[in-house]
Chains A and B, each alone.
Chain A
Amino acid sequence: MDKNEVVDYCLDSLKKRGVDKSTCCLTVSEKKELNVENDAMALLRTTFNTSLGISAIKNHKKASTSINKTDKNSIDEAVDTVIELTKGSKPDDAYDISDKQPKRLFSKGCDSADLDIMYRSLDEFVDYVKSTYPQVKLEAAIVDFNHINSIYKNTNGVDFQISDGIYSFSPVFLSKEGDKTTSFNYTGFSTLKIEKPLYKYAMVDSLLRESVEQLNTRSLDEKFVGKLIVTPDCIETFLGFIINDISDGKMITGNSIYKDKLNELITNPKLTLYSKPVSDEIEDGYFLTDDGYMAENSTILDKGILKTHLLGIYGANKLGKKRAVNDGGAYVIGSGSKSYSDLIKDTEKGILLSRFSGGNPSNNGDFSGVAKNSYFIENGKIKYPITETMVSGNIKDMFENLDDISNERVNYGHGILPWISFKGITIS
């Protein structure tokens, strides 16, 4: 069977077994992955995979299964499994599948990896780091190219096909000199084509340079309440709390502090947050939601006002609220009016936070954790890299007390993010 026949066979089998509604998604992928370990080229991986995901709703009971085979026997067994799982489940009127939409073919990126470019880029990156930052040790650096062919169909007549190929780069590094070792740091980006040296993408070069600076850290000898300037590499850590709170899990359980805040101001009006999975400026977006709708771009926060929760079909039906037009991700934050250097200049006392090692925030937004790869700022100047520094506050309060957003933003391929300063953070 070819890929279309596999999906059709699967849906037909479920229909014949009396299933009311079902979806089937077949994804076939090939990945090439080059690995640097401990400053040296080490490993080339070629992996093929197949994923056949099946969901079924019968008598308002839902179940799903996935296998990585496409032969008839394996599909028949998977269909048996999902039917058996639905029988054991509990009816819920909130289960549903996506509505009929026009048939579409989505395509992005190359069909296959250019392994020579991948090797040459990674090899040049290793050489660049060795010659420019001899104290930096590359714990790992991975360039990969992942290509997927995907078919998504359901019994409402949805029929989507996707072809998507994208390169990603992710280095993990630290600096070492004598008996001094820095905290590790990491970053990453995605791109449809590798068109320049890897260190020139996103914040890679800056973070390597800063790693060397961080060989000479100092402890802060006092506890104070000050400003936190969060870098583009770190800001999603904090945005994650808001995103988690407006998504299905916390909304359905009632644990979200934003559950009744639609169209209300929940952050400082300087913050506008988009999710743009199908924007031209986001190379590593996505075409479909997990529920089988064509993804659309959305504004999540418009000048601080919550414009949408991020609910899927089940969450929306369960809560009687509107389904989101995407699954979140591909975040773009609207740029501010000040330059990054002005954010620093306007900081009397605070820290520049490049990485945050913290616990999951409490349901009310209280958080605390360790500032990693970070700097002390005093009287408008970055003074020195710091160690053993704790940051604590409340994320809801923090976004209400947002101070400023930089007009420079960094494009990671999967998001476009600025520096953001926040007031009233406890630093100890």
Chain B
Amino acid sequence: MKYENLNKFRNSFSNYTELRVQENRNSSINLTNGDVTGNTSSQKSGVSARVFKDGNWGFSSNPEINTNSILGVVKASTENVQFMNKRDTNKCGYFLPETMANNDIDFSTNKNKQSQKYWLDFIKEIDGYIEKTYPELLSRNIGLGGLDMEKSLLTSDGSEAYSMIPRSIFYVMLSIEKDGNPVSIGNPWGGLGQLEDQFYNPSDYFNDIDQLVDRLKQKANGIYADAGYKDVILDADLAGILAHEAIGHTTEADLVMAGSVAADFVGKSVASPLVTLIDYANTCNDQTCPVPVYIDDEGTKSEDVTIIKDGILKRFMHNKDSARYYEEKPLGNARAYEFSDEPLIRMRNTAFVPGTSKLEEMIASIDDGYYLVKTGNGQADSTSEFMFAITMGYEIKNGQLGRAIKDTTISGIAFDVLKTIDMISSDMSWSSAGMCGKKQLIPVGMGGPAIKCKVNIGGR
């Protein structure tokens, strides 16, 4: 649903204005022990405008998309900023940095779109394989979902952009009973692209599922981690969430302005010299990232943000307002989730840059520690203190992988933990199954190599 002629509304702008027409389309199927427990689709579209004047913002949105509603949201958001300006006169004379960019990007599939029945049959085949091969499982939960985000943007600075960025995710969650208690494990697959460009044959996933069941059984027989401050290897998924949660959020400029500890660290050593951490805009090593952003929702061209270079904190991620405050150039981090959301400073594809070590060498270098493979959820703090749930991991004893561990949690102060990194693997993998929550949800990519560091691990 590309809105072709947004430019005709330019004359209705009387201040700095962003005008966005957007449609989000979701589809979702879920099987629980073979029964269809979810079979839905949804469409949400509309138009919004955001206006800036004298340090205040006005925003308005409407689900109808026609000339009257578009003129209406420009008028309403202008009236909203006037309401604010009338009462708040402290910020007269604030001007946003001007950015202008034009881009059209469309990741829609070129293949024939398949019906939801096709996709239900797709996951039924996978479910059938699991049920037949592993009758000992307590439960099987399989889901498949797609999200298309399609935006048309016009700004008073002269930016015009169209983007259609789809994401497709397939996930499996399995459980088994051990000593009367259920033990579970899950895994997502997918990323950028519509379902037709992500998933081809159900049998492509059988090997991965075999490995997942192996791990589930190892975990069911697993031991409690020995709580304490330990040497650990964070595999790529965990390194990615460390990059995103613990460092990324702490260096979003709005959170820095709010008092994040990173405010004091620009230009200072915050990590081992091995560490370089980048929020990629759209491309990494000539490959399109999981969540490519070419022009953000303020009309700024998206460029990579090197947050940490060789251990030194270099810069924060900005929108136009924080770039004004810090007198820096915005690099396209302002994104909104739905048509009725205003753009916020968001990460795009945040990752550690790979090093030179091999995973085997890293494991061999630890006498008593853990190799942590999968994470459930993670949270971070203004202090850079973070917590990640660990849903799969192994003990390391005398340089060898040992028994699996039960679910646990790791924590630490990120800017301290980064200083303990002494090995980074040479490989790199991305994940993009998650949504980042910060007033609004938004799809993000995160990734990296495996890293060796010291953290607190929970347990008994």
> A176 to chain B: closest CB distance in Å?
4
B2 within 8 A of A: no
Does B138 sit within 8 A of A, measured CB to CB?
yes
Q: Which residues in B have their C-beta under 8 angstroms from that of A175?
A: 259
Contact status B57-A63, CB under 8 Å: no
Instruction: Write the nearest CB–CB distance from B23 to chain A, whole angstroms.
Output: 10
Are A139 and B258 interface neighbours, CB within 8 A?
Answer: yes
Asked if residues A65 and B409 are in contact (CB atoms below 8 Å), the reply is no
B39 touches A63 (CB 8 A): yes
CA separation between A254 and B141, bound complex, in Å? Answer: 11
8 Å CB contact of A41 from B63, B88, B124, B385: B88
Q: Interface stretch among A352-360, A377-385, A408-416?
A: A352-360
Measured CB to CB, the closest approach of chain A to B113, in angstroms, equals: 12
Partner of A363, one of B61, B184, B258, B409: B184
Interface residue? A181 (CB, 8 A): yes
Q: Are A255 and B84 CB-contacts (below 8 A) given A42-B56, A46-B76, A358-B389?
A: no
Contact residues in A for B261 (Cβ distance below 8 Å): 181
Cα distance A47–B460 in the bound complex, in angstroms: 49
User: A369 within 8 Å of B by Cβ?
Assistant: yes
Most buried by B among A65, A66, A362: A362
Residues of A within 8 A of B83 (CB): 44, 115, 119
Q: Is A253 an interface residue (CB 8 A)?
A: yes
Across the interface, which residues of A come within 8 angstroms of B285, CB to CB?
none
Interface string of B245-272 (1 = CB under 8 A from A): 0000000001101111100100000000
A276 on the B face (CB < 8 A): no
Residue of A nearest to B227 (CB): A428
Q: Does B399 contact A (CB under 8 A)?
A: no
Using Cβ atoms and an 8 Å threshold, which residues of chain B touch A88?
A: 39, 115-118, 120-121
Determine the chain A residues whose CB is within 8 A of the CB of B112 once the complex forms: none
In-complex Cβ contact of B175 among A92, A253, A426 (8 A): A253
Assembled-state Cα–Cα distance A360/B44 (Å): 30
Is A49 interfacial (CB 8 A cutoff)? Answer: yes
Inter-chain contact A69/B63, CB cutoff 8 Å: yes
In the complex, A274 Cα to B138 Cα: how many Å? 31
Contact between A369 and B458, CB atoms less than 8 A apart: yes
Interface size on B, residues (CB 8 A): 84
Inter-chain contact B409/A390, CB cutoff 8 Å: yes
Within 8 Å by CB of B58, from A44, A84, A184, lies A44
**A1 CB within 8 Å of chain B:** no
Chain A residues closer than 8 Å to B37, beta-carbon distance: 252, 314
**Contact A366–B406 (Cβ < 8 Å):** yes
Q: Verify A359–B387 contact, CB threshold 8 A.
A: yes
Which residues of chain A come closer than 8 Å to B460, judged between CB atoms? 392, 426
Q: Which positions 378-402 of chain B face chain A at CB distance < 8 Å?
A: 379, 381-383, 385, 387-391
Contact for A390 among B84, B115, B458, CB less than 8 A: B458
Indicate with 1 or 0, residue by residue over A123-137, a CB within 8 angstroms of chain B CB atoms.
100000000000001
A409 to B132 CA separation, bound complex (whole angstroms): 52
Contact, CB under 8 Å: A362 / B41: no
Among B28-36, B159-167, B298-306, the one that faces the other chain is B28-36
B221 to chain A, nearest CB (A): 14
Question: Cβ of B60 < 8 Å from any Cβ of A?
Answer: yes
- State whether B181 touches A388 (Cβ < 8 A): no
Q: Does B223 lie at the interface of the complex (its beta carbon under 8 Å from any beta carbon of A)?
A: no
Whether A45 is near chain B, meaning CB under 8 Å from some CB there, is: yes
Taking CB atoms, residues of chain B closer than 8 Å to A63 are: 39-40, 116
CA distance A223 to B39 in the complex (A): 48
- B409 CB to closest chain A CB, in angstroms? 4
* B77 surroundings in chain A (CB, below 8 A): 46
A183 touching B139 by the CB < 8 A rule?
no
On chain B, the residues within 8 Å of A41 by CB distance are 56, 84, 87-88
Q: How far is the CA of A257 from the CA of B228 in the complex (A)?
A: 29
Say if the beta carbon of A112 comes within 8 Å of chain B.
no
What is the bound-complex CA distance between A254 and B41, given in angstroms?
A: 27
Instruction: Specify the chain B residue showing the minimal Cβ separation from A253.
Output: B139
CB pair A37–B254 under 8 Å, yes or no, is yes
| A87 proximal to B (CB < 8 A) | yes
Selected from B124, B409, B411, the residue in CB contact (under 8 A) with A388 is B411
Contacts of B117 in A (CB 8 A): 84, 87-89
B288 at the A interface (CB under 8 A)? no
Chain B minimum-CB-distance residue to A318: B35
Beta-carbon contacts under 8 Å, A23-60 to B: 37-38, 40-50
Assess A68 versus B56: contact at CB under 8 Å? Given A50-B63, A84-B115. Answer: no
Those of A361-396 within 8 Å (CB) of chain B? 361-364, 366-370, 372, 387-388, 390, 392
Contact with A along B352-372 (1 / 0, CB 8 A): 000000000000000000000
Residue of A with least CB distance to B225: A368
Give, as a whole number of angstroms, the nearest-CB distance from A251 to chain B.
11
Q: Mark A79-111, 1 if CB is under 8 A from B, else 0.
A: 001001111111010100000000000000000
Query: Within 8 Å CB of B41, what residues of A?
Result: 65, 81, 85
Indicate if the CB atoms of B340 and A47 lie closer than 8 Å: yes
CB distance from B173 to the nearest CB of A (A): 9
A270 within 8 A of B: no
Q: How far is the CA of A86 from the CA of B117 in the complex (A)?
A: 9
Interface mask (B304-339 → A, CB under 8 Å = 1, otherwise 0): 000000000000000000000000000000000000
Q: Which of B45, B91, B407 contacts A362 (CB 8 A)?
A: B407
Measured CA separation A253–B176 after assembly (Å): 11
Q: Is A62 an interface residue (CB 8 A)?
A: yes
- Chain A nearest CB, measured from B242 CB (Å): 15
In contact, B227 and A390 (Cβ under 8 angstroms): yes
In the complex, which residues of chain B have a beta carbon less than 8 angstroms from the beta carbon of A179? 264
CB neighbours (8 Å) of A184 from chain B are 258, 381-382
Residues of B92-148 contacting chain A, CB below 8 A:
115-118, 120-121, 124, 138-139, 141
- Whether B59 and A68, one on each chain, are in contact in the complex, defined by CB atoms closer than 8 angstroms, is no
A257 partner residues in chain B, CB cutoff 8 A:
181-182
A369→B409 contact, CB < 8 A: yes
- A360–B377 CB distance below 8 A: yes
Task: Answer whether residue B5 sits at the interface, using C-beta atoms and an 8 A cutoff.
Answer: no
Residues of A within 8 A of B259 (CB): 137, 139, 174-176, 181
Instruction: Give me 15 other A-B pairs in contact (C-beta within 8 A), A66-B42, A89-B39, A175-B259 excluded.
Output: A38-B258, A43-B56, A47-B61, A47-B340, A66-B40, A66-B43, A66-B44, A84-B117, A88-B117, A139-B255, A181-B383, A253-B33, A253-B138, A254-B182, A359-B390
Chain A residues proximal to chain B, CB less than 8 Å: 37-38, 40-50, 61-69, 81, 84-90, 92, 94, 115, 119, 123, 137-140, 172, 174-176, 179, 181-184, 223, 249, 252-255, 257, 314, 318, 357-364, 366-370, 372, 387-388, 390, 392, 426, 428
A-B contact pairs, 16 of them (CB 8 A): A37-B258, A42-B55, A43-B84, A45-B61, A46-B61, A84-B117, A88-B121, A182-B382, A183-B382, A252-B33, A254-B138, A254-B182, A359-B388, A372-B385, A390-B411, A392-B459
